[in-house]
Amino acid sequence: MAPSHLTGASILAAIALASALSQRQAGSTSTVDLSERYQTIDGFGFSEAFQRANGIVELPEPKRSEVVDLLFNATKEAGFTIMRDCIGSSPNSNLDWMDTILPEGPDSPDGELEYVWDGDDSGRLWVAQQGRQVDSSAPGFTKSNGQDSNGGGVCGSPGLYTEEGVEIAHLGLLNEPDITTNHASMRTDGAQATDFIWWEGTQDSATNNNKNEKLILVDGGDYEVDKRVWAHAQYSRAIRPGAARVGVSGGRNMKLAASENEDGMIAVNVISAGQGAAAFAVDGITAESATAWVTDTEHDMDETRATVGEDGSVGGITVPANGMVSVVIQPR
């Protein structure tokens, strides 16, 4: 959720009651169409690339367990199901680098690979034992420039993770293939990558350090939870792996998404773009029960009111200005 939205919501909260009531929007109804099917949702997650995982591992208890719970607990917290890892390619772990498991290349293309596994992987293994999915980069000897950095083989890390009890669901060939950096990086063109591409995302050109990108900032023996954890949680807790995105329409001044989970539960996610709180209802589903959560400046995925009528209609929901509500509905 953008900081400007959060600031705007805080200001609105201070407006006199009469003024706030005058800005209240008329009720909006969304209609869910289960016959309209889109992509399957693999899940939602976070990144522990480089040595970020060490920050979690080195936290004192109970704070370490609290952070793990925040990330993975699908009942009360974010419920993430994907973790982005990295296969190290550097000769050491200086300067936030990641140790390679293959420090020496073979003498020939047919030579035996001698992996060096420390059973820790800069803390990422410990965190990955809570997660599923891993990304990769290549060691220097497999690249044209002979080093893992400066642009420029996927190694045996998946097998080592399997031996530690972590099954790797997806393995990516590249990370940022169009960027040359002074840390682990490898360039490629479209023709080289065609046979390996499964998914491609985009991100800002710079990581911006700790200024405005974190989900959870681990700093020494403490941690700070950013509001964006709960914005992500609106999706990751309500929409579980294997869900299908379905059709949804309506909702004045609202951005909508709807999904049908594998267990039949229907999730409707609502982001308000309006300047006042708005009543909200869901049509197209005959409900047995409904649960809703709200995130805004005052709430972090807190349960909020949703009613089910005798006819199975879902309503009684209030979406705050510049806030988000997710409704999970059990059909009759």
pLDDT for 2-21, tens place per residue?
443 333 333 333 333 333 33
Domain edges within the chain: 3-41+241-331, 43-238
* % of the chain at pLDDT higher than 70: 67
Q: For the residues 211-233, what does the mean pLDDT come to?
A: 85
Q: How many CB atoms lie within 10 A of CB 100?
A: 24
* % of the chain at pLDDT higher than 90: 33
Residue 293 reports pLDDT greater than 70: yes
| Pairs from 75-80 (Cβ < 8 Å, separation ≥ 24) | 77/233, 77/237, 77/301, 78/44, 78/229, 78/230, 78/232, 78/233, 78/236, 78/237, 78/301, 79/44, 79/233, 79/236, 79/237, 79/240, 80/43, 80/44, 80/45, 80/46, 80/131, 80/232, 80/236
Are 283 and 290 spatial neighbours (Cβ–Cβ below 8 Å)?
Answer: no
User: Do 3-41+241-331 and 43-238 have matching folds?
Assistant: no
Residue 292's nearest CA partner among 310, 275, 281, 305 is 305
Sequence length of the chain is: 332
pLDDT of residue 273: 84
**CATH of range 43-238; options 3.30.413.10, 3.20.20.80, 3.40.50.1100, 3.40.190.10:** 3.20.20.80
Residue 282 reports pLDDT greater than 80: yes
Q: Which residue has the tokens 């891993």?
A: 134
pLDDT grade for 50, boundaries at 50, 70 and 90: confident
Condensed to tens digits (0 to 9), the pLDDT of residues 164-185 reads 766 666 666 566 667 776 666 6
For residues 238 and 319, give the distance between their C-alpha atoms in angstroms, rounded to a whole number.
16
Would you give the DSSP letter of residue 197? Answer: -
Q: Which superfamily does CATH assign the domain made up of 3-41+241-331 to?
A: Golgi alpha-mannosidase II (2.60.40.1180)
For residues 185 and 138, give the distance between their C-alpha atoms in angstroms, rounded to a whole number.
8
Model pTM? 0.66
